[in-house]
Amino acid sequence: MENKKPEAKKRFGVLDFFIILVLILCVAGIAMRFIFKLNQPQDESFVAVDTEEYYVSYISRNVRNSVPEYLTEDTEFRFAASNEVFGYPFRTPTVQPAEKRYVGSDGTQYKVPNLPNDDRTDRNDVFGMFKVKGKMNSDGVLQIDGSSTIISLNKEYVVRSDILVFKFTVVSITKAP
């Protein structure tokens, strides 16, 4: 006679249940993530607004006196970091002699008055405008058309043309008439 071993019964255990439950939850979590990501709208603050033209007023302090002659209306400027189009100067900028500033030991800046025989003819403060296309949201932030870059007040930006790198601070953003 043959000795037959009794076959071990295959049972569904608690450990098997938890492993299957974890796998199902992982698949459900991944599916939910993709479903909600697809249904999310883009940045809502810029969606409903059409692209319009804006004037971005700027100030650039203590630049060489040759810089304003390169800020012409037909020169295209791009952001220096990303190479995305920024805009075109709107008109010839206003130029005045640069103000000297002194930084005290506590970090406070003091303006030094212009003296009659001051030889500060090589440095200027430049005030001007760029014409840009973009979308403005309710917070006053301007998103440049065709770019992910935004412009806001009192921030410093670096732009470049073919022959000039230019750093300025935004002082106002107004809608073009």
Query: What's the rounded Cα separation, in Å, for the pair 97 and 77?
Result: 24
Across the range 73-102, mean pLDDT stands at 81
Q: Residue 145 above 50 pLDDT?
A: yes
What is the model's pLDDT at position 48? 46
Neighbours of 135 (CB within 10 A): 20
Query: What's the rounded Cα separation, in Å, for the pair 166 and 156?
Result: 11
**Banded model confidence at residue 161, pLDDT cuts 50, 70, 90:** confident
Which of 8-17, 22-31, 135-144 is predicted least confidently?
A: 8-17
What is the model's pLDDT at position 117? 59
Better-scored residue on pLDDT, 23 or 106:
23
User: For 102-135, how does the pLDDT look when each residue is reduced to its tens digit (9 = 90+)?
Assistant: 777 887 877 776 555 555 567 788 898 988 888 8
30: number of CA atoms within 13 Å, CB side? 5
Entry pTM = 0.61
